[in-house]
Structure 1
Amino acid sequence: MKLVASDIDGTILAHNGSISGRTVEAFRACTAAGVEVVFVTGRPPRWLAPLREQIGHLGTVICSNGALVYDLAEEKILSTKCLSIPDLLAARDAIKTAVPSATFAAETLDGLHLEPGFAGEQSPEALKRIPARPLEESLRGERGVIKFLAKAADSTADEFLTAVRPVVGRWVEATHSAPDIALLEMSLRGVNKAATLSEFAASRGIEASQVVAFGDMPNDVQMLSWAGQGYAMASGHPEAKRATDLLAPGIDDDGVAQVLERLLASRVA
């Protein structure tokens, strides 16, 4: 084990926004033992406060499902893989044909752009305060999009993904990570957590067989399959658990910490 790669939400970060003390200590023990730690998340850079404030992590974070690599210490973007606006608009039109109720948003390097209808009554107030405009207008002048979002009413995330994947594959890679809402996350075709993590590992001379990864949702599937030891959370989505033969205890049982403690102990032995 030379590299530990962990998802955040639902894997180490509970729904109440906390990371357990045991999990924090497990990551710190990895670092002390010379094992590099990288977090691989669907979150954009502006949502990384739990890593800095609760773990004290100031290293690399692979954000937006692999579309952006961020240095948390320098608060600097290291690399991006952007979706072009023409491809985004083509994918949006295809989704709208397949699922007429769909609404859309786009995450760029500068912030979040919403189309009318994306922010509903149950949305956070911060989201409601963002002016809603057609993406053709709000994205004018942007260099590219880090993540394209689509939301559907009266559907589950799995149902929505099943309807959308066949019609957008020529432009984007589609997945989801929200357990309770039909919200899809789309990146440039070929961009996912595993693709960027493999590049990061190779830059440090680390092979897939030396990587231990943790995740809980469909956006973690490729990463769990690629890593030498990919652990799906027992509390995770069935698709994540089907991606690997290794299962970590659930987040409420400090599953990541349990596995890391065991691996560190066997490494010392």
Structure 2
Amino acid sequence: MATTTSTPAGHDAVGGGRPRLVASDLDGTLLGPGGVASPRTLAMIAACRAAGVHVVFVTGRPVVWLDPVAEQTGHTGAAICANGALVYDAGRREVLSATTVAPADVLEAAARLRRRLDGITVALETLEGFRKEPDYVARYDWGRDRDRGDLATLLDPDPGVVKMLVRRETGTVEELLAVAREELEGLVHPTHSGPESPMVEISALGVSKAAALAAHAASLGVAQEDVVAFGDMPNDVEMLRWAGRGFAMTGGHPEAVAAADAAAPPSAEDGVAQVVEALLAR
């Protein structure tokens, strides 16, 4: 894992004034150890709200894992979930829009990967809940959403797949992602959000955090140059490149670091809050 260096508040490397929209990834970025928002982070979110600056959570998490964070932070605005496939109103707990992967594309993606690699298992995050092949080892307990079966059965009728999860218990996630990018180019969009699990996340072609954020910012009348974004993983790369100012967290994935304009201090040191505090003071 690469480590970057930054100024104490991580903000001197880029110019610009106060942002109109702050977009932040959650895990490893806005949230500290244990997935908890610190008092300083909570104060920063409140300061943005008081200043009329939009805050948008932009995460790979499914909606079901967004609600606890919204409750913890008091966030009632927009959240972009599932790497951009879902736009969610955290206050009303309502999905505003969804972009799904066609069942035929799910089946084709699985077939292509299995032709290259053994041990591939698949799960699906859908509009109807979590579904998985029998051999898929889930990282977390999904509660009641435990539909199991072969992939064709899980897709009939179409449950609205917002994200396809592909695991391989041997090898690294970087190796798996490299194969997925090669084999699935032009079909779907693969990425990953954490090195601790050998899992690649696959969305419909054209879906990304950046695409969803761009559309949401436009709906608010916020220009690209007035958006500040924070992230730490490959699934944040497009967003960091698109935003007027993109900050990668110190210690973040090399792809995120390369895509960003500057570094923010690590999440354990309230890096997002440090940078935003400085920007709000301008």
Q: TM-score range by the shorter chain?
A: over 0.9
Shift in CA distance, 51/212, structure 1 to aligned 2, threshold 3 Å: same
For 2:144 and 2:97, the matched residues in 1 are separated by 30
User: Which of 222, 233, 236 is the matching residue for 1:217?
Assistant: 233
Question: What is the CA–CA distance in structure 2 between the aligned matches of 1:226 and 1:40, rounded to whole Å?
Answer: 13
Amino acid paired to 1:33:
A
CA shift, 1:131, in A, is: 4.2
TM-score for the superposition, normalised by structure 2: 0.90
Q: Which residue of 1 aligns with 2:166?
A: 150
Residue identity in the other structure for 1:209: E
Matched, 1:53 2:71: yes
CA distance, structure 2, for counterparts of residue 180 and residue 187 of structure 1: 20
Identity of aligned residues (%): 46
Q: 1:12 aligns with which of 30, 39, 42?
A: 30
1:41 to partner: Cα distance: 0.6
Corresponding position of 1:3:
21
CA deviations 1:45-76 (Å, max 9, x no partner) are 11113322221001111111111111111111
CA distance in 1, matches of 2:71, 2:192: 26
Aligned residue among 22, 37, 42 for 2:55: 37
- Structure 2 residue 102 is matched with structure 1 residue 84: yes
Taking structure 1 as reference, are residues 112 and 56 closer, same or farther at Cα in structure 2, changes over 3 Å only?
same
| Relative contact order higher in (CA < 8 Å, ≥ 6 apart) | 2
Give the partner amino acid of 1:6. Answer: S
> How big is the shift at 1:125?
4.5
Q: Which of 173, 185, 191 is the aligned partner of 1:169? A: 185
Letter in 2 for 1:168: L
Distance 1:131 1:203, change over 3 A: closer
Cα 1:262–1:66, aligned 2, differ >3 Å: closer, same or farther?
same
**Partners of 1:193 and 1:262 in 2: how far apart?**
25
Per-residue deviation, residues 212-248 of structure 1 (Å, max 9, x unmatched): 0000100000000000111000021111001013100
- Equivalenced residue count is 264
In structure 2, stretches of 5+ residues that fail to align are: 1-18
Is this contact kept in 1: 2:129–2:145, CA < 8 A?
no
Change over 3 Å in CA distance of 1:117–1:127 after alignment to 2: farther
| C-alpha distance in structure 2 between counterparts of 1:198 and 1:245, whole Å | 18
Shift of 1:177: 0.2
For the 8 Å contact 1:113–1:135, the answer to whether it is kept is: no
Q: Equivalent residue of 1:119, what SS?
A: coil
Give the direction of change, closer, same or farther, for the CA distance of 1:236–1:199 in structure 2 (3 Å limit).
same
Seen in structure 2, the aligned counterparts of structure 1 residues 111 and 38 have a Cα distance that, compared at 3 Å, is same
CA RMSD of aligned residues (A): 1.5
Distance 1:9 1:44 in 2: 13
**Residues 189 and 204, structure 2, Cα contact 8 Å, conserved in 1:** yes
> Match for 1:206: what amino acid?
V
> Unaligned 5+ residue runs, structure 1?
none
Q: TM-score under structure 1 normalisation?
A: 0.94
Q: 1:1-269 to 2 correspondence within 5 Å?
A: 1-119=19-137, 123-126=139-142, 130-266=146-282
Q: What's the CA shift for 1:127? A: 6.7
